[in-house]
Amino acid sequence: MIAKGLLLSVSLLLALPLFGASIDKKIRTSKQRLADTKSAYSSMDRKLAKIAKQVAANRKKLQELDRTIAQLDAEIAKGAQRYAEGGKRLDEIRTQLAELNRKKSEQERELIDLMANRYVLGEIKKEKGVASPEDAVENEILQVLIRSDSERLKEMQRAYEKTLMQSEKLIAEAGRIKAMIDRLEAQKAKAAKEKRRRSELAKKLQKEKRAYQVRLEKLQKEEGNLRKTLAKLNILKKERLKSAKKRPTLSDSTRRAIASGDKLNVRTIGSSYQRHAVGRYRGKKTISPVGKAKVVKKFGSYIDPIYKIRIFNESVTLQPYRKNAKVKNVLNGRVVFVKDTKMLGKVVIIEHKNSLHTIYAKMDKIAPTIKEGKKIKKGYVIGRVEKELMFEVTQKNRHINPLQLITLTR
């Protein structure tokens, strides 16, 4: 017995580190998932990230509602038989109570009659007294009648009390059954309310997913539009553009999956650029195009936190700390493109040495002095931006992370 106890203790001690390791692994995995999700949100377009967070939050609420509704439905199903039996028993109790009330009324009338009769006999006995042998006989008869009525009265009182007790028991039972039925009715009402809430939330979620899809398609069209422009200027090879066309931005099946809320397999959409299409800038860092700014959309590949789609950002979006901030050229170069576009707003592209190009998009104003072919110095003001600037860098047909080129502190 002692040996068994020691063996069990040793087994527990050996298992504890494994259990601890398992918990640590789960904690690390959860933290990593949380970090990945936060990273994904920070890499996304701000409006898209906002909708994605709403979708994620409402999807979570929907799952919680589904669990609540399933639990309520299970409780209702479990209590269905008790509910039916309770209703049937209540009908029986009502019938029994009606019969007992009728019986009680009869007993009350009989009790009253007996008590009245006993009182009358008692009064007669008093008046008569014992004056003659005939009176003695009559008195004895009255005495017998009084005793008989007393016995009958006691018997009726016991019967009446029994009837009252039966009524009280039935009323208490009816109360318990009614309380049980009320609880089940409340559960049904709550389940119905939660189902209405779920329906409303599901509609809201569908609306958010449609808005998300529209925004996602718009961003893909913006990038596609810019790629076409870069291809026309021979900044990117046209073969790359053809390759991108072969990969549709969002297929019909993807749209249907997004609309229905299905999770998709991770895959690249929008951009056809693979790892070999991303270069690295090795020169000295230069100024920020908008001065001190916050990065609200990062460069690079990330997995969409809602639909698990792999997306590639070819630019960064910068939010200057100043309103109506000046947009400055970051290196000496020559203006090769100036246009006000529908998709990307006002766009300026500047060519620098070593086949480096900087792209400034979504500007609110372009400086009147900026013309195609004009040579400009580093720091030259090319326009202004109210909220956010889309900034992209390419070199020899490769995309470069703009943050390798600029510093946001100056």
Q: Cα separation of 19 and 25, whole Å?
A: 10
First-residue to last-residue Cα distance in the chain: 77
Q: Cα separation of 355 and 229, whole Å?
A: 16
Count CA atoms closer than 13 A to 200's CA, side-chain side.
Answer: 6
**How buried is residue 235: exposed, middle or buried, by Cβ count under 10 Å (0-12/13-18/19+)?**
buried
Bridge partners (DSSP) of residue 327 are 383
Q: Cα separation of 351 and 374, whole Å?
A: 10
Query: According to the model, what pLDDT value does residue 339 have?
Result: 94
Query: According to the model, what pLDDT value does residue 361 have?
Result: 95
> What beta strand segments (E) does 230-344 contain?
268-269, 278-279, 293-297, 300-303, 310-313, 316-320, 325-328, 333-341
Q: Cα separation of 196 and 191, whole Å?
A: 9
Residue pair 66/198 in contact by the 8 Å Cβ criterion:
yes
Q: Cα separation of 89 and 172, whole Å?
A: 13
Average model confidence (pLDDT) for the chain?
Answer: 81
Full-prediction pTM beyond 0.95? Answer: no
Q: Cα separation of 248 and 349, whole Å?
A: 26
User: Which two three-digit tokens encode residue 38?
Assistant: 């936060």
Whose CA is closest to 307, among 259, 271, 273?
259
pLDDT digits (tens, 9 = 90+) for 166-186: 888 888 988 898 888 898 899
Whose CA is closest to 234, among 343, 320, 337?
337
**How buried is residue 29: exposed, middle or buried, by Cβ count under 10 Å (0-12/13-18/19+)?**
exposed
Q: Cα separation of 182 and 131, whole Å?
A: 71
Domains and CATH numbers, the chain: 41-204 (1.10.287), 233-405 (2.70.70.10)
Question: What's the CA angle centered on 188, arms 187 and 193, to 5 degrees?
Answer: 95
User: Which two three-digit tokens encode residue 127?
Assistant: 């008046």
Helix (H, G, I), strand (E, B) or coil at 262: coil
Q: Cα separation of 158 and 173, whole Å?
A: 22
Residue pair 48/213 in contact by the 8 Å Cβ criterion:
no
pLDDT tens digits for the chain (410 residues)? 444 554 455 455 455 555 455 655 555 555 555 555 677 788 888 888 899 999 989 989 999 999 999 998 988 888 888 888 888 888 888 888 888 888 888 888 877 877 777 677 667 666 665 555 555 556 666 666 667 767 777 887 888 888 888 888 888 988 898 888 898 899 899 999 999 999 999 999 999 989 998 888 888 888 888 888 898 888 887 655 455 544 445 556 655 655 555 555 555 554 444 444 888 998 899 999 999 999 999 998 888 888 777 888 899 999 999 989 999 999 999 999 999 988 899 999 999 999 999 999 999 999 999 999 999 999 999 999 999 999 999 998 899 999 999 998 76
pLDDT digits (tens, 9 = 90+) for 331-386: 999 999 999 988 899 999 999 999 999 999 999 999 999 999 999 999 999 999 99
Determine how many CB atoms are found less than 10 A away from the CB of residue 97. 16
